[in-house]
């Protein structure tokens, strides 16, 4: 069933078996411009920029997921199910819930906690915590060791809400579930991988802190996030 409703691509071969997924489509362009050779632009609908190229000898696609679980849920499902993608590695940003985290720390997600109904509604799982795929995480750990980039293995919160009426509520989620940081996509990505028997992982860079209220600018993020991208690319 290609083209799909959200990816208007006729030829499956233009998409690699492994896809790196930043939230921001402009970050997908940045990754392609900075790290990849022989890049072909994928024209997908809804402005979600995608590129396929090579990192050394490894073919890889980078495509934006958009923000939030419904968005990554749609794009990752179509990539897995209809474009024969096997591995999706989300490379994103997160807000720190833990006072131990500093801006620009790089996290490897072992589990995503969410109060979202995504996995339940999909018919995959009634659990509130979903796992990343171990083999992908092990490759990411190996790559980080080779590059000497520290990676903190952790639980994160996938939230549906960015702006909250009660900004201190994060402390309960940190206490109860051990979620050290918040983003808005991993839980749906992990649910899709589970539903379709595919692989999913997520590495995140801390872009702001709910504890200290420090934040990075969009410009700083673009460059500082290269460490995380190198880990992802070297795990291929």
Regarding 162 and contact with ligand HPA (CB under 6 A), the answer is: yes
Regarding 94 and contact with ligand HPA (CB under 6 A), the answer is: yes
Regarding 93 and contact with ligand HPA (CB under 6 A), the answer is: yes
Residues 51-70 that bind ligand HPA (CB under 6 A): none
Regarding 87 and contact with ligand HPA (CB under 6 A), the answer is: no
Q: Which of 27-35, 115-123, 146-154, 181-189 is the region at the interface with ligand HPA (rule: CB under 6 A)?
A: 181-189
> Which residues does residue 109 pair with via DSSP β-bridges, in sequence order?
154
- Catalytic residues, which ones? 208
Q: Which of 31-39, 132-140, 182-190, 227-235 is the region at the interface with ligand HPA (rule: CB under 6 A)?
A: 182-190
Q: Tell me the CA distances in angstroms from 5 to 8, 44, 75, one per residue in order.
A: 7, 10, 10
Minimum CB separation from ligand HPA for residue 34, in Å?
21
Regarding 191 and contact with ligand HPA (CB under 6 A), the answer is: no
Nearest CA to 40 among 23, 64, 15, 18? 15
Residue 123, burial from CB neighbour count under 10 angstroms (0-12, 13-18, 19+) = exposed
Question: Nearer to ligand HPA by C-beta: 184 or 203?
Answer: 184
Find the binder of ligand HPA among 78, 180, 183, 230 (CB under 6 A). Answer: 183
Q: Which of 2-10, 92-100, 112-120, 133-141 is the region at the interface with ligand HPA (rule: CB under 6 A)?
A: 92-100
Assign 3-class secondary structure to 34-69: HHCEEEEEECCCCCCCEEEEEECCEEEEEECCCCCH
Question: Nearer to ligand HPA by C-beta: 135 or 215?
Answer: 215
Nearest CA to 180 among 199, 214, 152, 201? 152
What letter does residue 85 receive in the DSSP assignment? -
Residues 121 and 197: their CA atoms lie apart, in Å, by 18
């Amino acid at each position: 069933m290609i083209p799909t409703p959200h990816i208007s691509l006729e030829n499956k071969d233009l998409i690699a078996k492994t896809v790196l997924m930043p939230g921001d489509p402009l970050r997908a362009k940045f990754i392609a411009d900075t790290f990849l050779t022989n890049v072909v632009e994928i024209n997908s609908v809804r402005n979600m920029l995608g590129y396929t190229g090579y990192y050394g000898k490894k073919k890889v696609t980078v495509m934006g997921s958009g923000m939030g679980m419904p968005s990554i849920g749609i794009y990752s499902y179509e990539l897995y199910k209809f474009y024969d993608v096997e591995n999706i590695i989300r490379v994103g940003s997160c807000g720190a819930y833990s006072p131990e985290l500093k801006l620009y720390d790089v996290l490897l997600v072992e589990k995503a906690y969410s109060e979202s109904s995504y996995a339940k509604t999909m018919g995959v799982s009634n659990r509130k915590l979903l796992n990343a795929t171990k083999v992908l995480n092990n490759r990411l750990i190996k790559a980080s060791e080779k590059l000497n980039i520290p990676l903190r293995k952790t639980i994160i919160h996938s939230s549906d809400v960015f702006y909250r009426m009660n900004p201190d509520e994060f402390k309960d989620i940190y206490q109860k579930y051990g979620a050290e940081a918040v983003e808005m996509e991993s839980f749906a990505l992990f649910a899709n991988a589970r539903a379709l028997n595919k692989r999913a992982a997520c590495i995140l860079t801390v872009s702001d802190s709910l504890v200290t209220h420090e934040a990075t600018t969009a410009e700083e993020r673009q460059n500082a996030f290269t460490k995380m991208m190198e880990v992802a690319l070297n795990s291929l």
